[in-house]
A and B are shown apart, each in its own frame.
Chain A
Amino acid sequence: MLLRTEKLKKTFGGLIAVNEIDFCIEAGKIAAIIGPNGSGKTTFFNVISGILPATGGKIFFNDQEVTARKAHEMTALGMARTFQNIRLFANLTARDNIILGRYSQTSSGLLDGLFNTPRLQRERRESEAKAAELLAFVGLEKVADHMAKNLPYGAQRRLEIARALASEPKLLLLDEPAAGMNPKEVDALLQLIMKMKERGITILLIEHQMRLVMNIAEQVTVFDHGVKLAEGLPADVRCNPAVVEAYIGSEVQRFVKRKRH
């Protein structure tokens, strides 16, 4: 098991966002978490990636307990992520964004900077080479020197993935990577995810676009109101009555709400 959570819990004041979730993902797999809005998916991501502290339960990564680790430590251990509302370094170029993604793979410090040591120079060369490779991998080599904030939306999503890849992760968390993409961009994303899998990266994604999930996920977990509703192969989950209830239920509610306004 690459990642395993045991009764993982996260509360905000009185609100239980993630309620005793047992979850695991095997190395090399592509897994998806789906669920209605507000079902705790992103909070689950934030807790396992160390951005928010867990309220209770345990997290194991590579058979090592990592419950209390901070985000930067998780990155060093080999977990990278993207964000639902893209968080690129807006005023840096695409290339520099990826070079920053390499941060956890480099180690020079203040004194290396002051004396411009061979180590710093070597790391800089390596990072530049890696950045060039990753830019090509996601098809952004032409805009390498554009500022991240000036890139089109789809390119920003891909750049964020490339930046996450730069840390050479074992596990990559993608938070709604296809949000706001047109069908053509979704296809490109699908291929990109398959290419990453070929590289041996385990992928866990949150996604609303069923087409994407059903096409690539080997394991689907359904969240609803912070609890795990169902888990299994995409085809099985799709037919699970509880899942249908949760989804249809929320759809009906949303429909009714819209009518009322």
Chain B
Amino acid sequence: MVWRQWLQGWRGAFLLSAFVLGVSFIDSVLIRPEYLFPPYFKHVLLICLIYSIAALSLNFVSGYIGQTSLGHAAFFGLGAFTSALLTQVLHWPFWPAFLAAGVVSAIVGLPLGAPAVRVRGPFLVVVTYGCGEVFKYIALNLDITGGPAGLPGLVTPSLFVSFNDIGATGKEAFIVLALVLALFLAFFSRRIENSRVGQAFAAIREDEIAASAMGVNVTYYKLLAFVLSAFFAGLAGSLLAHYLSFVSPDMLSSAESIMMLTMVVVGGARSIHGCFLGAFLLTILPEALRMIKDTIGLPFDPWLVLFGLILMMMMRVRPQGILGADTVFRR
């Protein structure tokens, strides 16, 4: 696939940035009575970027070391709750809370990664799922997390000026932050693929026993993958929470975890482009369907039924994902 080669590295990053920044700021440049891109459009774009971060972070576990995780939303939600509580209860400013969200997620990811060392394959799926569920119940039942209602009214981040005052709709600064984070994560992932850490990940994915016979400390690298994964998921969760100015236990739900895993799988596991593609597709499709539904006046929302069908078809036709290939750890 020539176009994929062409989109490698800086060129792809540049095109994505040009698109995202163009969409974000064209309305600020052209002063017109109506928006060229309505706020709703920008909202969807931001959600796409945040899920791209989530998918890229899950890719460390489900792509590189090949462990299926159904609990990724737990880290995502944990980051959201951490920065929500830090800013609301301890009155931290956004930035340190944002960073702390990643760190707390990563610290919790450590014991959650521990089962992955002993448990593998189908059992890991249910352990990660179970962990996610347990987190959800904790968030639902604690007073400090606001119970089922969650925590509303989170602070809006600011960098010299409040994010709300930047750009035409107040979403632009969030979009830029998400873009920067997503691109950094993509760059980081690519660098890891080409490093000795990436070699160790590939070895573990292929054959754990042979990997340990090569001198790879399987426990260490599995934990590393979980910690990296949790850290970036925590950042993404925090970003979403402060954008929505609201966090609820729904962010931790297994439906979210399943969606994140399918983003990675549909896009193509271990493919950085695939993670972006999966996240964009699975965020835009339901929105588009809802629009179609509203226009033609369908009495129900067909998205989830269709989603199930798409997954089944996908596994039949292209189980490695749209952009997935049997890639090796070097170029």
Contact = CB atoms under 8 A, between A and B. Distances in A.
Contacts of B202: 89, 92, 96, 100
B329 A96 contact: yes
A106 B217 CA distance: 13
Contacts of B329: 92, 96
B196 A108 contact: yes
A76 B215 contact: yes
A166 B213 CA distance: 12
B206 A91 contact: yes
Interface stretch (A35-43, A79-87, A216-224, A230-238): A79-87
A87 B207 CA distance: 7
Interface stretch (A54-62, A112-120, A177-185, A195-203): A112-120
Contacts of A92: 202, 206, 328-329
A103 B188 contact: no
Contact of B210 (A87, A93, A108, A120): A87
B266 interface: no
Given A89-B202, A96-B330, A103-B200, A83 B215 contact: no
B13 interface: no
A135 to B, nearest CB: 15
Contacts of B141: none
Given A89-B210, A91-B206, A96-B330, A113 B198 contact: yes
Nearest to B218: A72
Interface in B178-235: 188, 191-192, 194-200, 202-203, 206-207, 209-218, 224
A113 B200 CA distance: 12
Nearest to A120: B195
B225 to A, nearest CB: 11
A99 B197 CA distance: 13
Contacts of B195: 108, 110, 112-114, 116, 120
A67 interface: no
Interface of B: 188, 191-192, 194-200, 202-203, 206-207, 209-218, 224, 326, 328-330
26 contacts: A50-B212, A70-B212, A72-B215, A75-B215, A83-B210, A87-B209, A88-B210, A89-B206, A91-B328, A92-B328, A96-B328, A99-B199, A103-B196, A103-B203, A103-B216, A104-B214, A104-B215, A106-B196, A107-B196, A109-B196, A110-B195, A110-B197, A112-B196, A116-B194, A123-B196, A147-B326
A-B pairs, top 6 by smallest CB distance, nearest first, are: A113-B195, A104-B215, A75-B215, A89-B206, A71-B212, A87-B210
